[in-house]
Amino acid sequence: MTVFPPAVPTAQDTGADLVELYLRHIGSGRAVMGRVMGGMAEVRSEGCWIHTDDGRRFLDFGGYGVFLLGHRHPAVVEAVHRQIDTHPLASRVFLEPVAARAARALAAHTPPGLDYIHFVNSGAEATEAALKLARAHGRRTIVTTRKGFHGKTLGALSVTANATYQTPFQPLLPDTVQVAFGDPAELEAVLASRRDRACVIVEPVQGEAGVRIPEPGYLRRVAALCREHGALLVVDEIQTGMGRLGTWWGVDTEDVRPDVLLVGKGLSGGVVPVAAMAATEQAYAPFSRDPYLHTSTFGASPIACAAALATVETMEREDTVARAAALGRRVLAGVRAVCAPYLGGLVTEVRGRGLLIGIEFAVERTVGELLLELIARDVLVNHSLNANRVLRLTPPAVVEDVALETFFRTLADALHITAARMAV
């Protein structure tokens, strides 16, 4: 294996110069955001840590759900290095062994019958593939849930139910319908009037909507309604899947077998962007028959598939899903304990499943204030794109005990300061 030196910042990578480059070449909004966050440049990472150019080290409890294995897991890094040294991108003329092996490895963990895997480069592309597959089956009405998040490419945006992101790009896909999340009654009415013509896309737990967990039985009822009315069921597990909820998939707890399952984020192993659409033989048939119906030059590249394969194998070897479940219980209990003094005041609810945890506040401004207080104390967390009052924690399954204690202590300090400021 070739050993590469860790990235080190160069003079022109740092501080004010970098903000200037962002201002001139990437965008003023992102530049301003970077400056508000402290203006640091992130230059290196490993496990649950991110290092910045000024020599600081941040505990990463954010990462938008990508880093269940942490940053640069050595097994994934080694597999990717090996692939780079042999054959990173394919001719697309011959068969690609690493794509086939990655598909077999992932299919060994998808719900029974979802054996066909279509690799893509991002979560939104997985959603696009599912929407096109639905159309290929004549399912032209797409039913999505309010506050649901499925990506921001034009098709995916049509089912990402957030007016802020949708409005500037209207008109989007026609014949999309939004129904309440967690309440199947509205869905039933929509499906009943569109027999054999609809496709339902839903998350098992809404991540960007602020970790909204439906009542037990909800997903099973959605699946039953889809069966009853001949609708195609797409479950978006881009954020919830690959062990994030302490099970391989969110559908596992409900014993639901969708027609299509979307995978992303954690599939990357924290190393190479890769996502996938898994489908049953019947659902996948149009893509299976015609390999040119839906293609992309870089889709299923050997380098991405090497990362996906190594990720699945590492999760099997390290029992990552069970670790995520156990750690998730500790994180949720710890966060609840830290937030307890503020419950009913600053904090309205702490909720979570596995390593997807949300802290909901009474006032929107608290999220930003607390996020900055945590950054000042070397801890990273995320806001939620479709829920302004919810701070989201998506820590890796590889957090050591010392780091966990540091997190609880830091959260307590940051909350204390934020509460005092909000009271003024």
Instruction: Please name the residue that has the structure tokens 């996020």.
Output: 371
Q: Which residues of 347-361 are buried (b: 16+ CB within 10 A; e: fewer)?
A: bbbbbbbbbbbbbbb
Nearer Cβ to ligand PLP (203/360): 203
Instruction: Please name the residue that has the structure tokens 């004010």.
Output: 16
Site mask, ligand PLP, residues 405-424, x = CB under 6 A? --------------------
Please tell me the count of residues contacting ligand PLP according to CB under 6 A.
15
Pick one of 53, 60, 96, 203: the residue that binds ligand PLP (CB under 6 A): 203
Site residues (CB under 6 A) for ligand PLP, limited to 80-139: 122-124, 127
Residue nearest to ligand PLP (CB): 123
What's the min distance (Å) between Cβ of 311 and ligand PLP? 15
What's the min distance (Å) between Cβ of 154 and ligand PLP? 12
Round the CA-based radius of gyration of the chain to a whole number and report it. 22
Nearer Cβ to ligand PLP (173/362): 173
Nearer Cβ to ligand PLP (162/320): 162
What's the min distance (Å) between Cβ of 235 and ligand PLP? 10
Site residues (CB under 6 A) for ligand PLP, limited to 222-281: 236, 238-239, 264
Are 306 and 269 in contact, with CB atoms under 8 Å apart?
A: no
Q: Is 374 left (phi over 0), alpha (psi -120 to 50) or beta?
A: alpha
Instruction: Please name the residue that has the structure tokens 């941040």.
Output: 58
Residues 6 or more apart from 61 whose CB is under 8 A from it?
Answer: 48, 379, 380, 381, 393, 394, 395, 407
Nearer Cβ to ligand PLP (268/410): 268
The 3-state DSSP class for residue 202 equals: strand
Pick one of 111, 204, 207, 302: the residue that binds ligand PLP (CB under 6 A): 207
Nearer Cβ to ligand PLP (71/229): 71
Residues 6 or more apart from 62 whose CB is under 8 A from it?
Answer: 380, 381, 382, 392, 393, 394
Site mask, ligand PLP, residues 40-69, x = CB under 6 A? ------------------------x-----
What's the min distance (Å) between Cβ of 399 and ligand PLP? 21
Closest CA to 194 of 155, 139, 135, 234: 139
Site residues (CB under 6 A) for ligand PLP, limited to 137-166: 149-151
What's the min distance (Å) between Cβ of 77 and ligand PLP? 21
Nearer Cβ to ligand PLP (310/385): 385
Closest CA to 132 of 228, 201, 219: 201
C-alpha span between 162 and 295 (Å, rounded): 28
Q: How would you classify the pairing of strands 232-236 and 198-202?
A: parallel
What's the min distance (Å) between Cβ of 236 and ligand PLP? 5
Are 254 and 219 in contact, with CB atoms under 8 Å apart?
A: yes
Stretch that binds ligand PLP, among 19-27, 31-39, 41-49, 202-210 (CB under 6 A): 202-210
What's the min distance (Å) between Cβ of 152 and ligand PLP? 7
Closest CA to 312 of 408, 404, 243: 243
C-alpha span between 82 and 84 (Å, rounded): 5
Are 389 and 363 in contact, with CB atoms under 8 Å apart?
A: yes
Nearer Cβ to ligand PLP (26/185): 26
Site residues (CB under 6 A) for ligand PLP, limited to 8-27: none
What's the min distance (Å) between Cβ of 65 and ligand PLP? 7
Nearer Cβ to ligand PLP (261/403): 261
Question: Could you count the other beta carbons within 10 Å of the beta carbon of residue 180?
Answer: 12
Are 237 and 204 in contact, with CB atoms under 8 Å apart?
A: yes
Binding site for ligand PLP (CB under 6 A): 64, 122-124, 127, 149-151, 203, 207-208, 236, 238-239, 264
